[in-house]
Structure 1
Amino acid sequence: MKNLKSYYRLLIVLALVFTAFGCESDDEGDDIENDPSSSFEGSWKRENMETYVKFVGSNAITCSGGVETVGSFNASEPSMTFVIGQEVIKFPLKINGNALLVGVPNQAVETHNAQIYYRSNVFPCDGSGGGGSGEGNIMFWIGSDLGCGNISVTLQGQGSGSITSYYGSSPNCGASGCANFTVAPGTYSYTASCGNYTWNGTITVPANQCYKMQLTL
C-alpha cells in the first residue's frame, strides 16, 4: 500500500507540472540565454495556461487547478526538484529578465518540450487569484516509547521539530509532545531520526486539513 501511495503522489506531481507542457515545439524557448543577474524570486505563469510556479527562498511551488505542490529550488544550477517516494523529478531552469524557461526532467525527455513562463502578480494557490487558500497541519507522533530518546523531524522547507512523548492512540492534531507543522497546502518530503532509527517519505496535505503521520519501527 505504501508503494501504491507513493506512485499515486508521483503521478499527481507529474500531472501538475506537465500541465505546463505540450507536445508542440517551443522555438521561442531555444532563444533564451540564462542571465545570472535575473531573479527567480516570485510568481510565474505559463502563457495562455492557468499553471503557475513560485520561488520562495529554497522552495519551488507549483500551482495548477488550485492544487499546490512544494519542492526545492537550487539557484546555483539552476533547477527545481520534487521528491515523491523514491522518485526524484528535477526540472532544469533558465531565466532572462521576465522570461523563465522550465526544462524537461529525465522522465519526460522523449515526450515533452521546455516551456516559457512569464512573471505574474498573482499565485492562485495562496489566495491571490482564487482557489487553494487555507493552511494545513502536519503532525508526527509515535504510539510507544521507542527507547531512543527524542525524535528529530525535519520537514522540507519548514524547519525541524521534535517528538518528545508518545500516545496509546492517535492524538488530536497539535498535541503536545508531537512534532507539529503549519504549512501551505502541498506535498512535502520529511526525514526523522532517533538513535539508530531513521524515517523518510513524503506527505500531501490539503488546505484546512491535518495529516497525522505515525512513525513506527
Structure 2
Amino acid sequence: MTNVTADLMMSLDGCIAGPNAGVGNPGGDGGAALHAWMAGLASWRERQGLSGGAHNRDSEIVGEWFDATGAVVMGRTMFDSGEKFWGDNPPFRTPVFILTHRPRPAEVKQGGTTYTFVTDGVHGALDQARAAAGTRNVDIAGGAATVQQYLRAGLLDELQLHVLPLLFGEGLRLFDHLGVLHQELEPLRVVHTPNATHLKYRVVTPRTT
C-alpha cells in the first residue's frame, strides 16, 4: 500500500532550517547541524555511493526510509537549492516530482533519479508520484511550505521526525502557517539514540476547516 509520508530532521524547538534559509543558503545559518548525524551512517553513505559507515539503530531507521520510498515530491525552492549540490547522480534513486509555477522539461539523471516539473499543484504532483511509486511510499521531502501544504490538504498519512538536541531560537519552523488544523496523530514508534530521538506518527483524522 502506498503511504504519503514526510521524514524530516528538526530541532527541539521545531526548526527544519536555521535563520536566513534560501536558495543560496538551503539549511539556513547553522542548519548543517541538523543533518551532520547522518553523514557517518552506513545507509546514508551507501545512498551516496560510498562505503563504510556505522551500522546502528540510526542507520536502520534511515535505511528503512530510503527502502520504503518509491517517489519523491518537493517544492521548487528545495530543488533550486539542492540541484547543484546533488549533481548528475542525485541520492534519490527514484522519480522526483517538483512543484513549480515555472515549467521545465523533464530530466533523467544517473542512478534511477528523474525530475518531473509539475505545474498543476499538490494534488497533481501526488497523483503522478503515486503512479510512479507503485506499492512503495511517496515521500514529501520539503521544504517546510510544501509539507505544510500537504498537511493542510489532509494528504499526509505518516510523519516521521528526527528530533536533534538543538535549539535554534529562530529559523524555518515546520508547523507554522497551518491555519486552523484538526489532525489527530497516532504514535507508531519512539526510538531514542545518542544522535536523535526518532518519532513516527500516523495521521488518524486528516481533516481541515
Does TM-score exceed 0.5, indicating one fold? no
Q: Normalising by structure 1, what TM-score?
A: 0.28
Q: Choose 1 or 2 for highest CA Rg.
A: 1
Q: If each structure's strand is expressed as a fraction of its own residues, which one has the higher value?
A: 1
Which protein has greater RCO, CA pairs closer than 8 Å, 6+ apart?
2
